[in-house]
Amino acid sequence: MPAFRAPRGTRDLLPEDRAVFDRLASTGTALAVRYGYRPIETPMFEQSAVFERGIGSVTDVVEKELFRIAPRSEEAEAWALRPEPTAGIVRAYVQHGMQTWPQPVKLTFTGPMFRYDRPQAGRYRQFWQFDVEAIGDPGPAVDAEIIELGLRFYGEVGVRDVQVLVNSIGDPACRPAYIDALRDFYRGHLDVLPPTERDRLERNALRLLDSKDPAMVELNASAPRITDRLCEACAAHFASVQVHLTALGVPFRIEPGLVRGLDYYTRTAFEFYVAGREGQQQALGGGGRYDGLVELLGGKPTPGIGFGLGLDRVALVLAEQGTEPPAAEGPLAVIVGADPEDTVTRLKVATDLRAARLRVRADLGRRKLGRQLEAAGRDGAHFAVILGDELAQGQVQVRDLLAGTQRTVGIDDLARELARAEASHHHG
C-alpha cells in the first residue's frame, strides 16, 4: 500500500482518462458555442449562503453533501466548494449586472463539482459537469432547445440509447396546493416513512418524491402527481415544451415523479438516462427551469433554465458500451544520435523543432543508437531524426519509421520537411 492515496471519493484522471474528459469537455463547449452559449468561469467556492439560499437548505445537496470550508477566524465568511454550477453562475449574473445585457444571457461552463456524498460507482466527491444556462428567457421554446442540446451532446460523444425524461413541477401559483396534497398523502403513511423522510415531511415534502430509499420508491408510485395539479399557465407551458420537443424529433417520456434534488427548479424539469437504468439513481445529467433563482440571489425577477451533465458517468457509460478511448498520439519525430553522450546536440535540435511548433521528443538516455531507435518505435513516432557524423556537413538522416525508408535532409530544412510530412499525414 502506498503511503498516500487520492482522497476517498476522488480519482486521478490518468492521461488516458484525461484524454476522454478532454474530448467530452471540448465537444460540449463546441456544441454549446454552436447554440449561442459563451463560456464563463466562476470560482470553485462561494459563500455558503449562495448555495443555501439558491439550492435550498432542506436538500440533500446542502444538508448532507455540501463541502464546507472551515473558517480561519471569527470574522471569516463561511465558504463551501460548489456542488453544482448554476447558483454560482446566477450569482455572477446578478453581481455583474448581466440583466442589462441583451437577454437571454447564454452561458456555458465545464469543470469540477464537489459533494460530500457516500462514494460508490458513478458517485464521487469530485466530479465534472458540462453545464449550460440560458438566463432571461421564460420559454417554453428555449426549454426544448436546451433539452435537444443535451441529447445532441450524448449523440456527438457517442453514448447510445439515451432517454429523456421530462416533467413540470409547477410554480408558486400551483405548487403549494400540490405540496399540501403530497404532505397529506405522506401523513397517511407515517408508519413506512424512514426517519430522514419523516423529519423532512413538514419542512420540504417535495424532497420525499426523489428519495433514494427503496421504501419510498414504492410509496411514491401511488403519491399524488403534480402533472394532475398544474395551474393553467404551467400546464400550457408544459404542453408547449412537448410540442417543441416533438417538432425537433426529440423522443421523451413524461415522468411525474421527477422533481430534481434542488429547490430552485420551477416548471420544466428533465433528466437523461441510459435506457433501462432509470431506476438506479444514475442520471447521466439533468436540469430544469429556475424562474425564482435570480431573485433569490438578490437580482430582479428573471426566468432561467439550464442543465448539468455529469461527465464521469458519460465516461463510465462509454467504457461500458465499448466505445474506444482516443488513441494516444505519438511524437512526430524522436531525435536520436550515434554518440550516446551527446545529449546537448539532441536536445538542441529538438528545442529548435519545438520552437517551430513540432511535436518531438529528444532521446536523453545515454544509450546506444539501436536502443534509441527501438524506443522511438515503441513511442509510436512517425520519424526518427538520426544525428551522426554528417552533422559536420549540416546534414541528418530522417528515417520514416512507418514506411521503413530513410533519406538525408539538410539540418536547415529539417523543420520544414517534418512539418510538411505532418501536414500530409493528417490530411491524407
User: Which residues here bind ligand AMP, judged by CB under 6 A?
Assistant: 84, 115, 117, 122-124, 127, 129, 261, 283-286, 308, 310, 312-313
Nearer to ligand AMP, 115 or 267 (CB): 115
Angstrom distance (rounded) from CA 101 to CA 239? 30
Nearer to ligand AMP, 84 or 171 (CB): 84
Q: Which residue is nearest to ligand AMP (CB)?
A: 310
Nearer to ligand AMP, 115 or 244 (CB): 115
Q: How far is the CB of 189 from ligand AMP (least distance, A)?
A: 26
Cell of 193: 416513512
Angstrom distance (rounded) from CA 409 to CA 239? 69
Please choose, from the candidates 205, 234, 208, 203, the residue with its C-alpha nearest in 3D space to the C-alpha of residue 221.
208
Identify the sign of the CA torsion 97, 103, 109, 114.
positive
Q: How far is the CB of 283 from ligand AMP (least distance, A)?
A: 4
Q: How far is the CB of 231 from ligand AMP (least distance, A)?
A: 25
Nearer to ligand AMP, 85 or 104 (CB): 85
148 Cβ neighbours under 8 A, 6+ residues apart: 245, 248, 250
Strands (E), 364-425: 383-387, 395-400, 405-410
Angstrom distance (rounded) from CA 102 to CA 4? 50
- The number of residues making up the chain comes to 428
Q: How far is the CB of 146 from ligand AMP (least distance, A)?
A: 14
Element (H, E) at 166: strand 162-168
Q: How far is the CB of 123 from ligand AMP (least distance, A)?
A: 4
Nearer to ligand AMP, 181 or 316 (CB): 316
User: To the nearest 5 percent, what fractions of the chain are helix, strand and coil?
Assistant: 40, 20, 40
Angstrom distance (rounded) from CA 369 to CA 342? 11
Nearer to ligand AMP, 165 or 386 (CB): 165
Q: How far is the CB of 127 from ligand AMP (least distance, A)?
A: 3
Angstrom distance (rounded) from CA 312 to CA 159? 13
Do residues 205 and 224 make contact, with C-beta atoms less than 8 angstroms apart? no
Cell 409547477 -> residue: 170
Q: How far is the CB of 346 from ligand AMP (least distance, A)?
A: 45
Q: How far is the CB of 125 from ligand AMP (least distance, A)?
A: 7
The amino acid present at 309, given as its one-letter code, is: L
Identify the sign of the CA torsion 36, 41, 47, 48.
positive
Q: How far is the CB of 273 from ligand AMP (least distance, A)?
A: 9
Nearer to ligand AMP, 230 or 315 (CB): 315
Angstrom distance (rounded) from CA 251 to CA 37? 24
Nearer to ligand AMP, 256 or 388 (CB): 256
Nearer to ligand AMP, 287 or 337 (CB): 287
